[in-house]
Amino acid sequence: MTYLLAGDIGGTKTILRLVQTSEPNQSGQVTLKNKFECTYSSQAYPDLVPMVKEFLHQANEEARQEHPPERACFAIAGPVVDNTSSLTNLAWSLEGDRLNAELNLNRVELINDFEAVGYGVFGLADEDIYTLQAGDPDSSAPVAILGAGTGLGQGFALATGGQPLVFPSEGGHVDFAPRSELEFQLMRYLTDKHQISRVSVERVVSGQGIVAIYQFLRDREFATETPAIAEAITTWERQTGLSTKTVDPAAVIAQAAAEGRDRLCQKTMEIFVSAYGAEAGNLALKLLPYGGLYVAGGIAAKNLALIKEGTFLEAFSHKGRVSPLLDRVPVRIVLNPQVGLIGAALKAAVV
């Protein structure tokens, strides 16, 4: 048995997990067993090393014996180049070689957090997934992954019998493609508001996109604002530029829409879910992911009832004469918020 260390490192919090792994079977697959896990405030530590040392000390105390990990993989909320990363929202500079030496490990790999999600979908249990469209699965075909959260991550993977090959992308930054007069107006609103010449799909299909759609509808006087919602949005707008905010406007809007108590919020989420489904369909057309299209990110799981209503799949498959191609694509919503941590563990397991 081998012990591994997996981590999901964000600007606000870091989750560390000690994992026990079996020897690879004939197909090259391993079984992972979680031994200890803890969540830390990232800002409370000057670097990852003292956090990991504290974690391992806690794990040893819990087990009453030492389980030193041999390898580690950390998923980073930011770009990773040549196994190094300077976190976007945290004053840490991480280098795999330095972490190897200071933590006395055989290998440390740093990967982008959405790349970790790509690995993680191969380690999900049945209860971690909601199947939105069964499709006609083909295990030899590509797998697509996208997920709206703070931004819009996209990537794809190829199952190889053992460890999958995962390829991240910058697909969230492609052009937003309006499909109706209202969406054309939204695009013009965003170009004028931000003084930009183009709008990426991430500006619409993300947490920030939910807020942008709401502001567009509000400023166009689509419906009267509910006082409580207006107060929450105005408070958030006043906090623009601050590192700490007291309101999550996307969550406020989504909750009000789900409860059916605010027309502006309901229309906002209708536009958002439709745009999300359309972009998922765009990615599916490019890859034909008959191995499955996985929708990750916190927004889909938290708003599953809205996703299930039909607007998402209608936009997903509305692709003109090639629409029948997408009927075969399995569409799966990832319900497990720790899919990236699972992916980091699977990546660390590769010898």
Which residue is listed with tokens 């994992």? 19
Sequence ranges of the domains in the chain: 2-124+338-348, 172-334
Task: Judge if 2-124+338-348 and 172-334 fold alike in CATH terms.
Answer: no
Measured between its terminal Cα atoms, the distance across the chain in Å is 13
Least confident span in 19-28, 100-109, 136-145, 192-201: 19-28
pTM of the full predicted structure? 0.91
pLDDT at 24: 63
On average, the pLDDT of the chain sits at 91
Per-residue pLDDT band at 350 (split at 50, 70, 90): confident
CA 349 from centroid of its chain's CA atoms: 22
**Average pLDDT of span 26-42:** 82
pLDDT at 159: 85
pLDDT at 12: 81
**Closest to 119 measured CA to CA, from 289, 343, 292, 335:** 343
Tell me the percentage of the chain whose pLDDT exceeds 70: 95
Residues 6+ apart with CB under 8 A from 236: 211, 245, 247, 248, 249
- The Cα 103–Cα 122 span in angstroms is 28
Using alpha carbons, list the distances in angstroms from residue 144 to 136, 186, 205: 15, 28, 17
Query: What is the chain's alpha carbon radius of gyration, rounded to the nearest angstrom?
Result: 21
- The Cα 265–Cα 276 span in angstroms is 16
**Average pLDDT of span 112-128:** 93
pLDDT at 27: 60
Which residues make beta-bridge pairs with 165? 158
pLDDT at 19: 92
Model pLDDT for residues 148-179, shown as the tens digit of each residue: 988 899 999 998 766 789 998 889 999 999 99
**Average pLDDT of span 112-127:** 93
Q: Are 129 and 123 in contact (CB under 8 A)?
A: no
> Which CATH number describes the domain made up of 172-334?
3.40.367.20
pLDDT at 237: 85
- The Cα 269–Cα 325 span in angstroms is 27
DSSP 177-189: ---SHHHHHHHHH
pLDDT surpasses 70 at 28: no
The second-level CATH assignment, the architecture, of 2-124+338-348 is: 2-Layer Sandwich (3.30)
Other Cβ atoms closer than 10 A to 64:
6
Model pLDDT for residues 223-249, shown as the tens digit of each residue: 888 998 999 888 888 877 666 677 889
